[in-house]
Amino acid sequence: MIKNILKGIVIGISSVLPGVSGGTMAVSMGIYDKLIHCVTHFFKDFKKNVLFLCPIGIGVVISIIASAFGLDYLFETFPVQTNLLFIGLILGGLPAIYDKVKGTTIRPAHILCIVLLFLLVVGMALLNGQQGGDVAIHTGISDFVKLFLVGIIAAATLVIPGVSGSMMLILMGYYNPILDTIKEFVAALLHMDMKAMGKVLFILIPFGIGVVVGGVLIAKLMEFVFEKYSFYAYWSIVGLLLASPIAILMVGNFPEITLVSVVTGIITFGLGFFVAGKLGEK
């Protein structure tokens, strides 16, 4: 259970970081297939699925709340070390993915999958520099519908490996407003301010419903892809795992690079690579 909570924390933090995909980290840790199966067959083996999903969900919630308050500090204070840690976490999953396709003939279509997914992830990183301003969220019916639709889109990008859900929210102008709303909710909860909680819940509930609906629908699609075109899917994942570190470096902020930061960054990279391998073990 503790191991699955840790996996959920890694997935949750990755989902919050622009340029990093929660789906990619799930793949890297070897639980993506099982996550998709549990979501799409939730009621078929209810108890078993709940026991698997709950600790991961707890880890995701913990990490998102912690990220909303403290992740910026790490990236501002230790940008090189923190970014290289996540690059290590991502690349640490490559050996496990390679084992899925090892021994099979690499066809031109497989190479095309690698290239297309590589370009998709890098392209998303390029778009990150062209995002517009944040939208203003109001408590009206139209905003309720918009938040529901944004939740569906966010879920789709979270479930599909290689596509950063947080980056998509940035491009739509909802990243900071949603993150700020989470902060407001936690603050209101700590102070037991029911009025403030009610206000932010009007924003979080439609967004959350959209995430659940979108997540289930896209999970069904991804299950079909992995069942019918598994080798194409795994070679595509190789492409996104190779591209994700580049995307992180493209959207990252590195104000000053020193010998100490490089050396310690190499250490955190190795730590991330090691942790990904351990978390991915059966």
* Residues 275 and 23: beta-carbon distance below 8 Å: no
Q: Could you give the residue ranges of the DSSP H alpha helices within 173-229?
A: 175-190, 194-228
| Rounded distance between C-alpha atoms, residue 202 and residue 223, angstroms | 32
CA distances from 144 to 70, 135, 202, 203, 212 (A): 29, 14, 8, 7, 15
Please report the pLDDT score of residue 209 as a whole number. Answer: 92
Looking at the predicted structure, is the pLDDT value of residue 96 above 80? no
Q: For residue 38, give both structure tokens.
A: 């549990």
**Angle at CA of residue 226, ends 100 and 164, nearest 5°:** 90
Please report the pLDDT score of residue 72 as a whole number. Answer: 66
| Rounded distance between C-alpha atoms, residue 33 and residue 158, angstroms | 14
Looking at the predicted structure, is the pLDDT value of residue 6 above 80? yes
Q: What is the mean pLDDT of the chain?
A: 80
| Rounded distance between C-alpha atoms, residue 181 and residue 196, angstroms | 10
User: pLDDT category, 280, cuts 50, 70, 90?
Assistant: low
* Residues 271 and 91: beta-carbon distance below 8 Å: no
- How confident is the model over 173-182, as a mean pLDDT? 80
Q: Among candidates 15, 98, 39, which has minimal Cα distance to 222?
A: 39
Q: What is the pLDDT of residues 223-248, one digit of tens each?
A: 888 888 888 888 887 887 788 788 77
Amino acid occupying residue 157: T
Please report the pLDDT score of residue 264 as a whole number. Answer: 94
Helix (H) or strand (E) holding 267: helix 259-279
Q: What is the pLDDT of residues 76-94, one digit of tens each?
A: 788 888 888 878 877 877 7
Q: 0.85 exceeded by the pTM?
A: no
